[in-house]
Amino acid sequence: MKTPLIILVQLALVLIGFMACKTDNIMPTQNTDSETGSIVDSSASRLVIRIGSKRFTTTLVSNATAAAFRAHLPLTVSMTELNGNEKYYRFPTHLPSNPAGVGRIESGDLMLYTSNTLVLFYKTFPTSYQYTSIGKIDNAAGLVSALGSGDVMVSFELENSK
């Protein structure tokens, strides 16, 4: 009686082993941002942020907030200056959010505060506030001068939309 049970268990383990070795990739390729730990979906469209004549490419994270933000694109808004380190825009509706303590804001971070405030940070600083990540500008050089010291018009569009 023990022998058939042992054989059945061994066959089940072999079958599980074959299933674990399956190589077809159903999910899009994903990478993890080493700084934020956010999953970056490399198959998703990238974002272009335009401020005057300046163009900044942005890598979007793979989450419900970024997907809801993409659904609003293309978008041109007046962003309001706040604290000498960020510009913000309040959506008239709420986006899905999953705020978490980020500890440190980096220049070029694009985040959602609460569930309806889009924030583009142009300076690096520590923070105790909670945000939901949307993306990050790939190269934030020139961002401070492009945004200036007051309110500014900013356009967001998917990179492949032109």
pLDDT band at 35 (very low <50, low <70, confident <90, very high): very low
Residues above pLDDT 70, as percent of the chain = 72
pTM over 0.85: no
Domain that holds residue 66: 30-161
Segment 94-139, tens digit of pLDDT: 999 999 999 999 999 999 999 999 999 999 999 999 999 999 999 9
Distance CA 153, CA 143 (A): 13
String of DSSP letters for the chain: -HHHHHHHHHHHHHHHHHHHT-----SPPEEE-TTT--EEETTSPPEEEEETTEEEEEEEBSSHHHHHHHHT-SEEEEEEEETTTEEEEE-SS------EE-SEE-TTEEEEETTTEEEEE-S-EE---EEEEEEEES--TTHHHHH-SS-EEEEEEEGGG-
Q: Report yes or no on 106 lying in a domain.
A: yes
- Mean pLDDT of all residues in 39-54: 76
Q: Quote the number of domains for the chain.
A: 1
Please report, for the domain that includes residue 130, its CATH number: 2.40.100.20
Whether 38 has a pLDDT exceeding 80, the answer reads: no
Q: Please, are residues 96 and 115 in contact by the beta-carbon 8 Å criterion?
A: yes
| Residue 64 falls inside a structural domain | yes
Question: pLDDT band for position 45 (50/70/90)?
Answer: confident
Is pLDDT at 48 greater than 60 in this prediction?
Answer: yes
Residue 90 lies in a domain: yes
Structural domain contains residue 5? no
Q: Tell me what pLDDT residue 13 has.
A: 47
